[in-house]
Amino acid sequence: MSQEAIERAVGELVVETPSWGYGDSGTRFGTFPQAGRPRDVFERVDDAAEVHRLTGTAGAVALHFPWDEVDDYRTLREHIEACGLRVGAVNANLFQGNEYKLGSVAHPDAGVRARAVEHLLACIEIASALGSGAQSLWLADGTNYAGQDDLRARRERLVASLSRVYAALPPEQELLVEYKPFEPAFYATDIPDWGAALRICQQVGERARVLVDLGHHLPGANVEQIVAFLTADDRLGGFHFNNRKYADDDLVVGSVNPFELFLIFCELVASSGPLPRLTIDQSHNIEPKLEAMVLSVVNLQEAYAKALLVDRERLRAAQVAGDVLAGHEALLEGFRTDVRPLCARARAQVGAAEDPLGALRGSGYVERMAAQRP
C-alpha cells in the first residue's frame, strides 16, 4: 500500500473515547480528583470533542448508564452532534448495585434478573434516542466459592436473560458481549474467556458479537490469535483498548506492549472487511486525563499505520516457503518503521494537529477548564 493510501486510511480511522475516561477515577484504595474534571456528561462530551479536534480520529463518544443519565436525551444528542461527535456504544451498568452482589442476569433470584433485564431494555431505548448502533455489555457475574451456586444453572439464566434483551434489539443495533477471566468474582466468572463469549453470542443471535478488552486476559494470552479466530467467524464486535502489566491495569494504549497492539492491527487489516468498533476503555488514575486519552489515540493511529505498511506478499511468500524468520522479519520491518511523520500528515489533512500532545499542552484548554469547573 502506498504512503498516500496509508495516510488516507489513518485519516479515516474512527476511535470511540469513553465518557468515563474523562471523570474522576482511582484504584480500590482511593480516588484522585484532578482540577478541571468534568462535572456531568455534557462536560465529558466537551472533553471528548477536544480530543477529536486534536487527533482527527476520536469522532465518537461511548456512554455509560446510569453514569451518563439525563432527563432529556434529545438535548444530550443535540449537544453531542453540535460538538462534531456522534454517540458510540451504549454501556450498561450491572455491577454496582447492592442487589447485584450475587450476579445480575445470572442471579439465582428471578426478581434480580428481571431488574437487570429491565435496565438493559432501558439502555436499548436510550441508544435509539441517541442514535447509537451498539449495546456493550460487561458482566461482573460469577461466584467466589465452590458450591455457592450451580454453574450450569447460571449459564442457562444468563443465556435466557440475554435472549430476552436480544429479542428487543432494533435492527440497527448489535449486542457486544465482553469477557473477563476473574474479578470481581474470584472462583468462577460466568463469561471467563472468548470461547464462552462466542458460544453465548451464537446462542443469542447473529447480531451478537464478542467484545475483546485487552486488559481482560490471563498473562501470556495470545490476543492477536483470538482476533484472528473471531474475525474468521465474523463474530468480532470490537475492542476495549487499554494496556496492562498484570491484569486490567487500564494503562495508556500501547504503553506496555506496543508490539502486541501492532500484531492485533495486523490481523485486523488482513481481513477483507471493515475495521470493527474501536473503543478506548481506560480510567486514568494518576496521569492527566486528556493527555492520556490523546496519547492513546495517537498510539492507535501509529499501530494501524505500521500494520498497513507490512509487505503482505513478502509475508505470504515466507509463510508458504516455511521460512520462519523471513516471515517474522517482514512483520518487524513494519513495526520498526517510524510512522510519526506519516500520521502527522494524515492528521493535518483532516484538520487536526500534527502534534496533538504539544497542541493540547500549548492550547490552555486544561487550565481554562480548571478555572471554569470548580
| pLDDT at res. 81 | 98
pLDDT band at 374 (very low <50, low <70, confident <90, very high): confident
d(CA 37, CA 28): 20
Mean pLDDT score of the chain, rounded to an integer? 96
The pLDDT of residue 200 is above 80: yes
Q: How far is it between the farthest Cα atoms of the chain?
A: 64
Residue 27 — very low, low, confident or very high, per pLDDT cuts 50/70/90? confident
Q: What is the pLDDT of residues 272-291, one digit of tens each?
A: 789 999 999 998 888 999 99
At what angle are helices 324-336 and 258-270 packed, to 10 degrees? 110
Instruction: Please give the C-alpha separations between residue 161 and each of 124, 170, 190, in angstroms, as whole numbers.
Output: 14, 17, 13
What percentage of the chain exceeds 70 in pLDDT? 100
30 pLDDT exceeds 90?
A: no
pLDDT digits (tens, 9 = 90+) for 121-145: 999 999 999 999 999 999 999 999 9
Q: Whole-angstrom Cα distance, residue 15 to residue 58?
A: 5
* Other Cβ atoms within 10 Å of 236 Cβ, number: 27
Q: What is the pLDDT of residue 25?
A: 80
Query: Residue 65: pLDDT above 80?
Result: yes
DSSP 340-362: HHHHHHHHHHTT--SSHHHHHHH
Rounded Cα–Cα distance for residues 56 and 15 (Å) = 10
Domains and CATH numbers, the chain: 14-372 (3.20.20.150)
